[in-house]
Chain A
């Protein structure tokens, strides 16, 4: 049984990372709408935790993007066969 090609493995890793970013983004969208709804209803106390969690989600998305870049760079730098 042959090993998967490096390019294919890299693409799988990137696809996985992008899927995770997409999931985090959906959570962030929900968080923004829920926080806005609470703000308009006069519940100002939820704005702080909402912003904090949104910052954590953005940091996680950014870290995953850096991972994509690293995998991408490794794929591009690989010597041609």
Chain B
């Protein structure tokens, strides 16, 4: 067998077949990757469904004036959250990660909305729903439980309607 036969094993007439076959293989491998992604979501959903949140003392109500905010982390130390004492005298808390690209949200200048300064997304301070801008989902709401002067975080509501909205009056 000649050496060049080993180096150029594909004849010119069949070259088009090989190129298409390789492209088809690439597409099918990508399709497999998509399936793995969907399966990963399924696995995460299965394990997250039974997630149990701990109780965590986040603030004393008397420390936060009307219109004031307090930052805290819940449920883990890497999950920044923000607590508001609204002008309607309620305590509400949300995840501080914008649902668009995870920038930190802050109170808007008007005191009535929550703003994501990265892409000018706005959320309602009352229930976390999207008012304006690119965020696709409401802010995850931290479920609060007020015991006297103490404010406790007891869960996270992603806005799916799985838990009834809780109001914590001052």
Contact = CB atoms under 8 A, between A and B. Distances in A.
B38 interface: yes
Interface string A13-27: 011011001101100
Interface residues of A, number: 41
Given A69-B21, A72-B21, A41 B31 contact: no
A46 B91 CA distance: 32
Interface string B1-42: 000000000000110111011011101101110110111011
B86 interface: no
B49 interface: yes
Interface of A: 7, 10-11, 14-15, 17-18, 21-22, 24-25, 28-29, 31-32, 35-37, 39-44, 47-48, 50-51, 54-55, 57-58, 61-62, 64-65, 68-69, 72, 75-76
Given A21-B28, A40-B99, A41-B159, 14 more contacts: A11-B16, A18-B20, A32-B37, A35-B38, A39-B41, A39-B45, A43-B160, A50-B38, A55-B38, A57-B31, A58-B34, A61-B28, A65-B25, A72-B21
